Structure 1
Amino acid sequence: MTPRERDVLTLITRGLSNAEIEAVLHVSRGTLKTHIGNLLTKLAARDRAQLVIAGYEAGLAEPSG
């Protein structure tokens, strides 16, 4: 995983929408979708929910409570 993909995964894990991630990272929608597609492939994830699980398992975020 590239450093930028890790940034994207961290923000996905924290619950940000694509539009919010685009604004935080200053990337285009197409670039973000490429990063997400790469993450899905590299982590063998079916969907965004599985990316969130992978992010929590990697310690990229902690549940709030």
Structure 2
Amino acid sequence: MNYTVAGMAVGAVLAWATLTYRFWGFLLMVLFLAAGALCGRAAEGKLDLRGIRDALTGRRSSS
């Protein structure tokens, strides 16, 4: 099992607790799954966090 799958599993476990809140629980589940997947990809080294930060702050490079 790779880090992305493990991160998604952790996000799913955290999100499961929010399911009692119906629709908002579903939205939180999606948020937690996405956050878990992003953390897992960053831990694997498949996600460039500096590139994301630069894109969000408007410092994009052409390369």
**Bin for the TM-score computed over the shorter chain:** 0.3 to 0.5
**Rg bigger for which structure?**
2
TM-score (norm 1): 0.31
Higher RCO (C-alpha under 8 Å, 6+ residues apart) = 1
Q: Normalization by structure 2: what TM-score?
A: 0.32
Would you tell me which structure has more helix in proportion to its own residues? 2
